[in-house]
Amino acid sequence: MAIANVTQDTVASQWSDALHAKDRRVTKQRLAVLTAVDNSPHSTAETVTESVRGQLRDITVQSVYVILADLSDAGLLRRIESPHSPARYETRVGDNHHHAVCTSCGRIEDVDCAVGHAPCLTPQTTHGMTIQVAEVLYQGLCGDCQLDQR
């Protein structure tokens, strides 16, 4: 749920609403982390910490990790785990997109699904990269869990 470029107060209000919708308290720490990730998609926890410390000088790295984990669990952030790289985070959640990672510099680009439904294996664009490997992670509910939800 990336939030469009609007005033800082509007962004804070939208993130506050999103936090409330996920039954999370609105704190300055959570708002700062969400804003940092939204402003710099595919950020590492270290990058988020550096950005947040621009507003909250005394926030600890551990606090940022806890907030990132909580917001990921709540579905407000997406945690991206690629081989040989620290986890990265983005606010683009709830859609069917993948990522292209440069094996040389580590740059990550969003790749929209060309097919338009999950799962897709054909990227709409490769951002000039020669794709060598595609990884798909299927997530769903087993039969027992489906029965428990009824």
Which domains can be identified in the chain, with CATH numbers? 8-80 (1.10.10.10), 96-150 (no CATH)
Kindly compute the dihedral angle of the four CA atoms of residues 36, 37, 42, 45, in this order, to the nearest 10 degrees: 70
Confidence of residue 28 (pLDDT cuts 50, 70, 90): very high
What's the predicted TM-score (pTM) here? 0.77
pLDDT tens for each residue of 63-105: 999 999 999 999 999 999 887 789 999 999 988 788 888 878 8
Peptide bond into 86 cis (omega under 30): no
